[in-house]
Structure 1
């Protein structure tokens, strides 16, 4: 009987990990659709190319070295943590009333769930540097970001390692359930470093302080991308429970799903109202970013708030993201999709809200953790971007930017108006 229960537990938790990982992988499609909808038509093919290529690079680099750096785990040559059945069964048999301990799942499923998080962090960078960065410069950075920069800060947080041997974030009371800071703010920090060195798109800001809007080419596509991300986030947060096969864990998963959805809804509504008050119109792009802001905020701790509290947390994110996007433009930080505001500013908000519902965290720990993540990723990224700029350059020529990077970087248009034949 105990043997059967163990096998059932192992199968349930492994399968749950894999399904949630697949949902997070589907977020790559969401980012691709959102970003391609918010850029101009002449840059669509290139940003789609970036999103597919970065996912492949992230998966490969995390397999080769990233996972080992982050968890001191197995390299791709040595397998992925096959379970010690006899050892686990012996521990399982000593528990009365069924298995109520930690998670039991395949090491391969853990790697799969972790690797799609790496790709998510890199996807955030893609939209922020869109429409003027060289494709191969971006892909070079993706190699370093996914293979080293992200795994290092992941080792200090989820991996439990000390920060350069100096202090432990866990001992300081830092908590980030599914990655508001570890994934989202880290991606935004890397993006900010790139944007600073890259500069704004030509014509975005006028000589007298004018801010010119560059409307996206396909808002239906951007809306579809947002809904795909919203759906994928259930795997992002839900899978981070790490366990399903007992009553308490199943209830925790249900609460995480409920709170994730509630926060997204709260963020969307708050952003829509805020945009109406500020601009006098219902701004679709702010509505979409508001939903994503709510999702980013609740990612830091979706298991302990009530549904109403989660809605309010999401609403705070929805208001903040509108204010942040406007402020970024005033500072002349050109982010075509609002990624730095959604994932960076709201990622920080999510971390700071954790202690209100999670007694195991502290405000000081959250602040130190946020500073550690941001400083490491920003400085390391600034160095890497700087090296790439010196060696191969970051930015396409003015002529290529005017004509669109689809033609200069990929040699094809996403929306050809006509095809000439002879």
Structure 2
């Protein structure tokens, strides 16, 4: 079978299988000899790949901009480091690597070699003798959370609205409008290019009518969670980068859900936004130790969840799920986040698989909360469960990049 992305099709190739649009409409029948007009047609209908006759074509190297050999070498070494954990052993990982390569080399060509972090000192970051286990439990950490962070009472009311099937649009607006700062931020998000409404939405009640109550309360929980951790020290992790990564994961999760044609995909953004909330709790409790643990993950090319389980007996995903349970968020979010690193163990494999893939993509596409931590391993079974072609990544990441840049400032500022 020879599946080619639409942008790789050439005149004279012969269609092997009927090509249909996402709507089911027949676009090109089997046996069609491709012409330029056919390729334009396929692109206009959103087709991402076509099966053609003949032997599979060897994978070509991505086209890179001209640059000095030293810059090319440094960029290649950095890419090798980023992909040291997840590898490139499957079509989807090779496609991720191709997109990453184009992005990083373009950045080097545009801004110079300094945009690539210096990883030559990585072996000196971690002294295994300094890193021991800590006597911490999830229950202890949950008991300390109110002392570490400032919690908004409005949040409880918002969650109650989200959980109750009897909540009306007027009730939702009434709860959100009690917090003027939250209302202002939500209106800024709703009026951003991310949603692209033709006219300005001037009130929370109008936002509820246009977006729906569930969508707005989902956004409200995300904004409130960011505010909850606003006092966290920046010494170990750059919090702007952290929340940018979280927004990116949410966008990727929502787009992947859209590729699966799920009827309701709004909560996928929230699951992406909150999936590393347990990491923030650990950073608040033991920042110095977590700094060493992050260095260990980077220098030894180890999975952060593995490092955490060695140190604490649990990973930040399990801690985050317990915290969200304490916050009384809907149960489906808790299970999805708890098993993001092991999605096939989840009660809902599809939702956890979407979040898992989105998590990997958020790092692979340059939105990691650390520029030197390796991209998380991709669970191939989780990707296979989604039944998506690796060829969707090119257009999906382009859409994600636009949406992330449009919404991230509204959340973080």
Verify same fold: TM over 0.5.
no
Which of the two has higher C-alpha Rg? 2
User: Normalising by structure 2, what TM-score?
Assistant: 0.32
Bigger share in helix:
1
